[in-house]
Structure 1
Amino acid sequence: MSLILFAIPAFFALILLELAIDSRRKTGFYRVNDSINSLTIGVYSRIAGLARAAIPLSFYPLVLDALAIYEVSATWYWWVIAFVLYDFCYYWNHRFGHEISFFWASHVVHHSSEEYNLTTALRQTSTSLLGWIFYLPLALLGIPVEMLITVGALNLIYQFWVHTRHIPKLGWYEWLFVTPSNHRVHHAQNQCYIDKNYGGVFILWDRLFGTFQEELDDEPPLYGIRKALSSWNPLWANVHVYSQLAKDSWHTARWGDKWRVWFGRTGWRPEDVSQSHPIAKADLSRFKKFDIPLSIHERLYATLQHIGILLITLVFLLNVSALTPIMKWSVAGFIFVSGMTLAAFMEHRVWAHVTEWIRQLAMLGVIISGALPTWLTTSLLVIIAISLPMLWQRKRTSTLVLE
C-alpha cells in the first residue's frame, strides 16, 4: 500500500494545526470554499491515480528488465542515490510542467488556488499521463520498481510541509533544500517569480540550472495563475487549459501551429488566433481573489458534505482491491459527481439545490443497503441528519443565485 495513504492522517493533523495557528494569528490564509476545492481536487487525484499508475508500472519494468546497466541492491547507499536521482528527474519533470503547454495543462491545477496553505499541497493533477517518462533513466540505471515507488512517495510527502506562509526563511537550510520560503516563490504569479524554484526536495538543481529565485521582502507573492480559474469546479480546474489549447489548435490556420500550440512554450499562441480570439492579460496591480461569499450555514453545510466525501474516499481507497469493477466505477463516479455538485453549491448555481437533495437521498439509499462499515454508516447518518434541515432552510432563505 502507498506510503502516501499512510501519510494522509498526518497531513490532516498538520492542516488542523495550521488552521489553529491561522485563527490565533488572524492571518486569514484559509477560506472554506478554496480549501474544500483544493481537498476535492486532491481526492480526484488519488482516485484517478489508481488508473494512471498502470501506465508507468507497465513500461518502467520493461525498460528495467531489458536495458538496466546495474543490478541495484537494497543497500542504504542505493536508497540514498535513488532518492537524490529521483529528485533530479523530478526537477526536469516539474520544469517541463511549467514551460511546455501540454505538460502545463496537467500541472496548472496545482497552481490555480489563489491561497497558499497546506491544503494547496494536496491540490494535485488527475490528468498527468506522460510524467513517468522523466523517470525512465532510473530504470536504465537499474533502480527497482519498489525503490522507485518508495522514494517517489517520500519525495511527495516532503513537499507537503513547504506549502505554508507561517514558516519564515530557514537560514543555511535555504541553500540546500526546498523550503516554504523558496516554494512560495514557485507558487507566485509575480513576474519576477514566474518559472522559478522547481526542485522537490533539493533546491540545488535550481541554483545549478539558473532557475532559482529568492523570496524578496519588498515583493510579496501573489498566488494563483495569470488566467484565473474563477471557479470551484474541480473537474474544470483539471481540464480548463486543455480546453483552451484545443480551441487554439482548432482555430489556427497553419498546420504547424496546430501542433505547436500543444508542445510549444507555455503561453505561446498563434498570431492569427491571438488576433481573432484575444485573451486579456492579467493586471496584477488590480489583482482580486475569486470569491463567492457563503453564509455561516452554507460554510457549515459544505464542510459537513466534504467530510462525508473524504470518509467515503478513505474507505474506497482502503478497500479498492476487494471491489468489483462495477463497484469501483460506481463509487468513484459518486465521489466525482459529489465534488462537482458541492462546488456548484458553493457557487450558488440554481440547479445545485436539487442535485444536493438527490445526492443526500442517494447516500441514504446506500446506507439502508447495509453495504458500508458500521462506523461509516453512523458518521454519514449524523451528517445527513444535520444537513437535510440546513438544506431545507437554505432553500427558504437564499436570495443570492449565480448562473
Structure 2
Amino acid sequence: MSYIIYAIPFFFLLIALELMAEYFRKTDYYRTNDAINSLTAGVLSRMFGILKALVPFTIYVMLYDNYALFTLGDSIWLGLIAFVLYDFCYYWNHRFGHEMSILWAAHVVHHSSEEYNLTTALRQTSGSFLSWIFYLPLAFLGVDPLLLLTVGSLNLIYQFWVHTRHIGRLGWLEWIFVTPSNHRAHHAQNQIYIDRNYGGVFIIWDRLFGSFQDELDQEPPIYGIRKALHSWNPIYANTHVYQQLIKDSWRTKAWSDKFKVWFGKTGWRPADMERDYPLGRVDLTRFKKFDIVISTRRKVYALIQHGLTTFVGLEFLLNITHLALMQQLLIIAWVIFASVSVGEVLAMKVAGWWLEVAKYLALVSVLVTHPIPFWLMLSVSSFTVVSVAMWPSLKKEYTNIVEQKEDMAIVG
C-alpha cells in the first residue's frame, strides 16, 4: 500500500517547524509565491498521479503474475531487500531523468524552484509517463505489486526531509545515505554540481557509479534551472521543456535530429536550432531570483486559495473510490483550473481576477446543485465567503495595474 497520503499531515508539520526555524534564525529560505507554487505543483502531481498510474501498474502486475523468476514472500528481510532494490532502480530512473531530454522534460519541474526548503520536496512532476519502465525489473525479481507501492511510497517519504538548508553535514551518514547536504548539491545549478547525487535514500549508488559530488563550502549552491521559468503558473512549469522539444523537433531540418531532440542528452539542440532560435541561459555570475513584489493582502489571499485547493484535493484522494469517473475528471479539472488561477494571482495578472471569479462560480454551482455532507458544505462555504470578502480590495489592486499600464502607454 502507499503511505504518502498518510504522511501529508507530517509534511505540513515539518514545514511549520522549518518556518519556525526560519523565524528564529532570521534566514530567508522561504518566499510566499515560490512556496505556494511548489505546494500547488505537489497537489497537481497527486491529481495526475491517479490517472497516469493505472496502465503502468497494470503492466507491472501482468509481468509479475506471468514472468516473475522468484517469489520473495513477505518477511521483513525480504521487504528490506525490495526497499534497496527499489532505490537502485530509482537511481537509474533519476539519472536518466537528468541526462535524457524527454525524461528531463518531466523531471524539470522539481528543480525549477530558486529556493530550497521543505516545500521544494513537494514540487513534483505531473507529466512523467516513462519513469515506470525503470521499475519493471522488480516484477521479474518477484517483488509483489503491493510491496512495490509500499517501498516506493517509503522511498519518496524519506526524500522529503533532505530538502532543507537548516541541517548541516551528518558525519558518517554522508557516506551511505542521501542527506540534506549532498541533496543540496544535487539541486544546485552551479557547473560543478550539475548531474550529480541521484540517489533517493542511499548515496552509495552515486559513489559506486561516479556521480557523487560533495557540497563545497567555497561553492555555495545556486538553486533553480539554467533556463529559468520566470512564472508562477504550475502548468507552464510542467510543460515548458516539452513545448521547447516540440518546437525544435518540428522546426529542425534533419529527420535524425527530429528524433534525437527527444532522446538525446539533455540540453542538446540541433545546430540549426541553436543558430536560428537561440535560448537564453542564466548567467550565474549575475544571478538574480525571479520575484514579483506583492502586497501582504495578496499573499494571504493566495494562501487561502491554496488551502482550498489542497482541501479539495485531499477530499478527492480520500473518497476517490466512491466517485464516478466523470466526477473524478471534473474535480481534477477544477483543481487544475484553481492551480493556474492562484498562479496568475501571484503574477499580478489581471486575468487572475477573472479566473478567480470563474473558479468560485463553478464551486458555488456544485454546492447548490449537489447533495454533499453538511460539514463539507460548511467548510467550502467558509473558504468562499472569506475569499469573496477580499475581492473588493484585490479588484482595486487590479484596477491600479490597468491604470498604470494605460498611463505608461500614453507616455510612450
Report the TM range for the smaller structure's normalisation. Answer: over 0.9
Aligned to 2:408: none
Deviations 1:223-281 (A, max 9, x none): 00000011111111111000000111111100000000000000000001110111123
Aligned to 1:400: 401
Q: Distance in 2 between matches of 1:289 and 1:371?
A: 46
Q: Is the 8 A contact 2:29 2:115 kept in 1?
A: yes
Quick one: which amino acid aligns to residue 166 of structure 1?
H
Deviations 1:283-332 (A, max 9, x none): 10111111111101000111111111111111111011111111111111
Q: Distance in 2 between matches of 1:245 and 1:371?
A: 45
Q: Distance in 2 between matches of 1:171 and 1:177?
A: 11
Residue 210 (str. 1) matches residue 210 (str. 2):
yes
Quick one: which amino acid aligns to residue 201 of structure 2?
V
Deviations 1:94-148 (A, max 9, x none): 0000000000000001000111111111111111111111111111111110111
Aligned to 2:136: 136
**CA gap 1:141/1:397 in 2 versus in 1, 3 angstroms:** closer
Q: Is the 8 A contact 1:92 1:134 kept in 2?
A: yes
Aligned to 1:324: 324
Quick one: which amino acid aligns to residue 51 of structure 1?
L
Tell me the CA shift for residue 57 of structure 1. Answer: 1.3
Q: How does 1:77-96 map to 2 (within 5 A)?
A: 77-96=77-96
Deviations 1:39-90 (A, max 9, x none): 1111111010101111221111222122211122111221111000100000
**CA gap 1:23/1:372 in 2 versus in 1, 3 angstroms:** farther
118-127 or 67-76, which moves further after superposition?
Answer: 67-76
Report % sequence identity: 55
Q: Distance in 2 between matches of 1:48 and 1:228?
A: 24
Quick one: which amino acid aligns to residue 86 of structure 2?
Y
Quick one: which amino acid aligns to residue 34 of structure 2?
D
Quick one: which amino acid aligns to residue 104 of structure 1?
W
Q: Distance in 2 between matches of 1:233 and 1:197?
A: 28
Tell me the CA shift for residue 363 of structure 1. Answer: 2.3
Aligned to 1:345: 345
Q: Distance in 2 between matches of 1:332 and 1:84?
A: 34
Aligned to 2:28: 28
Q: Is the 8 A contact 2:228 2:281 kept in 1?
A: no
Q: Distance in 1 between matches of 2:309 and 2:13?
A: 18
Residue 222 (str. 1) matches residue 222 (str. 2):
yes
285-294 or 392-401, which moves further after superposition?
Answer: 392-401
**CA gap 1:280/1:396 in 2 versus in 1, 3 angstroms:** closer
Aligned to 1:164: 164
**CA gap 1:259/1:386 in 2 versus in 1, 3 angstroms:** same
Quick one: which amino acid aligns to residue 29 of structure 1?
Y
Aligned to 2:75: 75
Q: Distance in 1 between matches of 2:68 and 2:384?
A: 55
Q: How does 1:265-280 map to 2 (within 5 A)?
A: 265-280=265-280
Q: Distance in 1 between matches of 2:397 and 2:205?
A: 55
TM-score normalized with structure 2 length: 0.95
Aligned to 1:145: 145
Aligned to 1:240: 240
Tell me the CA shift for residue 370 of structure 1. Answer: 5.4
Q: How does 1:6-85 map to 2 (within 5 A)?
A: 6-85=6-85
Tell me the CA shift for residue 351 of structure 1. Answer: 1.8
Query: RMSD of the TM alignment (CA)?
Result: 1.4
Quick one: which amino acid aligns to residue 276 of structure 1?
D
Q: Distance in 2 between matches of 1:139 and 1:78?
A: 14
Q: Distance in 2 between matches of 1:397 and 1:349?
A: 10
Specify every segment of 5 or more residues in structure 2 that has no aligned partner in the other structure, as ranges: 406-412
Q: Distance in 1 between matches of 2:349 and 2:360?
A: 17
TM-score normalized with structure 1 length: 0.97
Aligned to 1:119: 119
Q: Distance in 1 between matches of 2:222 and 2:372?
A: 44
Specify every segment of 5 or more residues in structure 1 that has no aligned partner in the other structure, as ranges: none
Q: Is the 8 A contact 2:45 2:126 kept in 1?
A: yes
Q: Secondary structure at the match of 1:155?
A: helix
Deviations 1:184-219 (A, max 9, x none): 000000000000000000000000001000000111
Quick one: which amino acid aligns to residue 286 of structure 2?
R
Q: Distance in 2 between matches of 1:290 and 1:371?
A: 44
Tell me the CA shift for residue 2 of structure 1. Answer: 2.5
Q: Distance in 2 between matches of 1:280 and 1:387?
A: 39
Tell me the CA shift for residue 367 of structure 1. Answer: 2.8
